[in-house]
Amino acid sequence: MIAAVLELSPVLGAGAACRALGLPRGVPARQRAQARRAAMVGPRPPRAVRVRPPLALDAQESTLLLDTLNSERFADTAPAAVHATLLDEGRYLGSVRTMYRLLNTQGGSCERRRQLTHPAYVKPELLASAPNQIWSWDITKLKGPAKWTCFHLYVILDIFSRHVVGWMLAERESADLAEQLIADTVSRHDVQRGMLTLHADRGAAMRSKPVAALLVELDIAKSHSRPHVSDDNPYSESQFKTMKYRPDFPARFGCIEDARLHCQAFFSWYNTEHRHSGIGYMTPQAVHYGQAPALRDARQVALDAAFLATPKRFKGRRPKPHALPTAAWINPPPSEANVQRTTQHCAVNL
């Protein structure tokens, strides 16, 4: 193959010859280099000793410069500042680069300030296999009548059914308001103690002491997203996008009453009419209250009737409605196949 490339190279060029034979452009050069290395017999000649630069500091000058840098006077001073201070005193012991080079040989060139280290945040991995197991909540802003004015919308969402179990619109973001909303929502849905996990991002209201104390009192586990990771709270973010991308969503609300009326109409539509793709195109209310299996059976009856009437339109295959949800994850763990694939990829690279 390499011989063919060498024969075609004078006519087509090395790049065109490699492309014609399906070889990478650098294969011939690598093959020639390997051949030259294989042809070498005996040990390789040692590298020539690097000649000391004629303008470099001698041993006595290097020692004097190091002693000056490590002295009590300059021990906590940057080399550039030391260089400038010595010049002000009429002394020149070496350039700034030389100072850094000498300090590096002694292990003295490093960051001496205490750097801020962030704690290792654990990625939340939450699984809901039924309603009222994991709720996600967040706060978004709705623009008010004038510039720099806004209203705060609190929304609690069940991630399994996508049902909005509670919401509230207020003029401010407050931990007390969040505590009130959570307590009322839990009471209204009759959530069993120890069965619910409440997930949120790391906002001030989400991490407030009143909310944390309420969750302990109600025996509700709390979970938080990692800092600056929006993917850790995907269900709430998706619900807010659905709301704000609706055709009837206004650019601004005239007052908080207008915003509250709009939210009432939207959440009623979202829970009872919106066919959500993530739950088999069922409404959140149907999945949350166990009506989805009966509705899926009704869809199957309609599809069976259409199939019996015109089987050729379905290529002789009985159509089936979309599958119902069985689980909802926040950050699902990697599957065994993905883990094995990643392990094999790392082994190849090593």
Question: pLDDT in tens for each of the 350 residues of the chain?
Answer: 667 766 777 777 777 878 877 778 777 778 778 777 777 666 667 777 888 888 888 999 999 999 999 999 998 888 999 999 999 999 999 999 999 999 998 888 877 667 777 777 889 999 999 999 999 999 999 999 999 999 999 999 999 999 999 999 999 999 999 999 999 999 999 888 999 999 999 999 999 999 999 999 999 999 999 988 878 999 999 999 999 999 999 999 999 999 999 999 999 999 999 999 999 999 999 999 999 999 999 999 999 999 999 999 998 899 999 999 999 999 998 875 454 444 443 333 33
Dihedral, 192, 194, 200, 202 alpha carbons, nearest 10: 140
Q: Whole-angstrom Cα distance, residue 291 to residue 284?
A: 10
Q: Whole-angstrom Cα distance, residue 28 to residue 15?
A: 10
Neighbours of 343 (CB within 10 A): 10
Residue 316 pLDDT: 86
Residue 3 pLDDT: 72
284 contacts 296 by C-beta, under 8 angstroms? no
Largest CA distance in the chain: 103
Neighbours of 106 (CB within 10 A): 10
Residue 110 has, within 13 A of its CA and on its CB side, a CA count of 7
166 contacts 179 by C-beta, under 8 angstroms? no
